[in-house]
Chains A and B, each alone.
Chain A
Amino acid sequence: MRQSQKVSLSICLALLVLAAACKAKTPNETNSAPGVRVTDVTLGRSIGGDKSISDRTENFKPNDTIYASVATDGASSATLRAKWLFEDGQVVDESTHAIAANNRERTEFHISKPNGWPAGKYKLEVFLNDQSVETKNFDVR
């Protein structure tokens, strides 16, 4: 009887360890999938040669060109999409850019309007492979 209890206990312990291992692995699997992930999105008035923002701001003037720099990590092909929205949800512009990423990369999206942006609140939504991954709010004064 004692022997069988020991065996049962061992099996239970083994199952618990196995379950814990599986549980611990699940989030890692999603993060370390061989895809690309967005690590940062910044807004500004200008970009450098490395596609990072050189004049960071979230308050723009009507005649500014608005740049968004999307940092990604991972080595795989992916599609980034930038959806620019005006305060009531009106779509200002939507652009996509396909990349064959090789570890850390930066992709910039920019919008300009020759006769000036209407003042108000705007939003940028960034999609990675059609999944919304980041939202940034900014305004034009």
Chain B
Amino acid sequence: MGIFDKLRGKKEPKPRADFSNVQAGSSSTAAEPPKTSPLPDIGFGPSAGTTGSATTGTSGQDQTYVVVSGDSLSKIAKRYYGDANKWPRIHEANRDQIKDPDLIHPGQRLKIPGA
């Protein structure tokens, strides 16, 4: 009896919760800090003076963005490139998960090609 009581009272260790499919994201009213280029643009090469935009000479690394409610590709393009008309660039980079460019879902992780 005592043994059975002991066995009944013995709690198994609580299994750890599975958070492997947690989707996360962030956004801010603040601007993104300026990216520093590993190589300074000294005015030579094909990129020099071609656009005159603030992104000239940046490293052009891809970023990941998690879609939140109310987002659209043009909004995201505006945020990352400063130009809503550049949304096809994001669409192209995410063809595998965006069939209809007017339809993106909160939680989707989009690849944002470097500017």
Contacts and interface: CB of A to CB of B under 8 A. Distances in A.
User: How many residues of B sit at the interface, in one of the four size bands?
Assistant: 20 to 34
Contacts, number: 85
B47 interface: no
Interface residues of A, number: 36
Interface in A50-80: 50-51, 65, 72, 77, 80
Nearest to A111: B24
A138 B25 CA distance: 19
Nearest to B31: A100
A113 B21 contact: yes
A95 B66 CA distance: 11
A93 B30 contact: no
A136 interface: no
Contact of B16 (A90, A98, A109, A114): A90
A106 to B, nearest CB: 5
A99 B17 contact: no
A12 B81 CA distance: 62
| B21, B26, B34, B107 — most chain A CB neighbours (10 Å) | B26
A112 B17 contact: no
B29 interface: yes
A92 interface: yes
